[in-house]
Structure 1
Amino acid sequence: MPAYGFAHLRDRRHHPDILEYLERIQATLDPFGGRFVIHGPPARVVEGSWPGSMVLIEFPDLAVAQAWYDSPAYQEILRLRTDHIEGDLLLIEGVGPAYDPRARAAALRARAACAP
C-alpha cells in the first residue's frame, strides 16, 4: 500500500538554509523510492481556510516512509527546514486502487450497531 509524507507548512520564511534543504532533499528520498506529488504551489481553497502550503511525498509503503524520515541523511538536513518553517508533518498510509468508501461506510455502520 502506498504511503505519504504530508506536510502542512505555515509561516514560511525564505532563508538560505531552505534553499540548501531543497537542493539536498531529493538525494535523501531516492534510496527510499520517495517522490514529490505536490510541492507547495498555492492551493485553491474551496471550503474553509488553508494558511500556508502543502507538500505531499509518495513512498512505496509506510515502513519505507518511516525509514526515510529516520535516516541519517534526512535527519542531517531536517533542521534546515524546521528552524525556518513552522509546520506539521504526517506519515500516513494511502488506500489502494480497489478502495471503495461504501465498504468503509458499511464497516462503520456494523461497528456502530454492535456498540453498547
Structure 2
Amino acid sequence: MMEKTHMSQSRFTQAEWRDLFEQQKKSELTVPQFCQKIGVSTTRFYHHRQRASHPPEKRSEPAAPSAFIKVSPAQEKPASPSALPILFETQQGTLRFPAGTDKHVIIAIIRGITA
C-alpha cells in the first residue's frame, strides 16, 4: 500500500499528474480515497485527468497567411467643383449629369428634349 503523503497540488508537472493517475488505478482505491490519502483535492485530480486525456492540439506547421488584407477607410475630401454633378433646370424637370459627362452628350440630350 502507499504511504500517506501530503503533496503540494499546485506545482505538479504533467508527468507527475500522469504518474498519480497510474498510481490511483493500481492502488484499487476510489478517487476520493486516493486523493485524501495523498492530500490532493478530487476536483483538482479530475480536472487534470480530463486535461491529460484531451491534450490541446499542437500545430506542426505554421498557420497559413491570412487571405485578408488590412483596409483603412478613405478620408473624405470635399468635392472639387469638377466633381460636382451638372444640373440643368428645364420646364420638364431637372437634368442631372455626373461630373465629367462629355459636353456633346449633354448638348444632344438637351436638343432632344427641346425638339
TM-score, reference length from structure 2: 0.24
What TM-score comes out, normalization by structure 1 length? 0.24
Which entry has the higher C-alpha Rg, 1 or 2?
2
* Larger RCO: 1 or 2 (CA < 8 Å, sep 6+): 1
Q: Which has the higher strand share?
A: 1
